Structure 1
Amino acid sequence: MRKRKTYSTGFKTKTVLEALQERETIQEIARKYELLNFSLLATWVEHESPHPGLGDGHHLYPVRG
């Protein structure tokens, strides 16, 4: 049986803060930190964000233009 990967609070904080800056998409940040599933990072952002409504998709997936 495979052991489930765990992430430290510091790692989660670093990635969430980077996502809140909105300089890169969630997918780009997840790829940079080798997260297997970008939705994991999106979930962390939704749960840790002090900004209500951040998890509505509008801020998580900014349109590149």
Structure 2
Amino acid sequence: MAIPFRRHSKGAKRRRRSHYKLKTPTIVVDPQTGEFTLPHRVTPNSGYYKGQLVLEKKNKKAE
């Protein structure tokens, strides 16, 4: 394995690592429930996508 000829400075190291950060997720408000969700996804709590009911909730059997 090759050995570096010169030492990397702290500034060079930090500039290289400057893009290692968390990105904030894009969040939209669901118009039916008013809760925050990710865009372009069916909301699991309401089952709506683009104003249309896509996913119906299953009723749990009472035991």
TM-score interval, smaller chain: under 0.3
- Of structures 1 and 2, the larger Rg is shown by 2
| More strand per residue | 2
| More helix per residue | 1
Greater RCO, CA 8 A, separation 6+: 1
TM-score normalised by the chain length of structure 1? 0.20
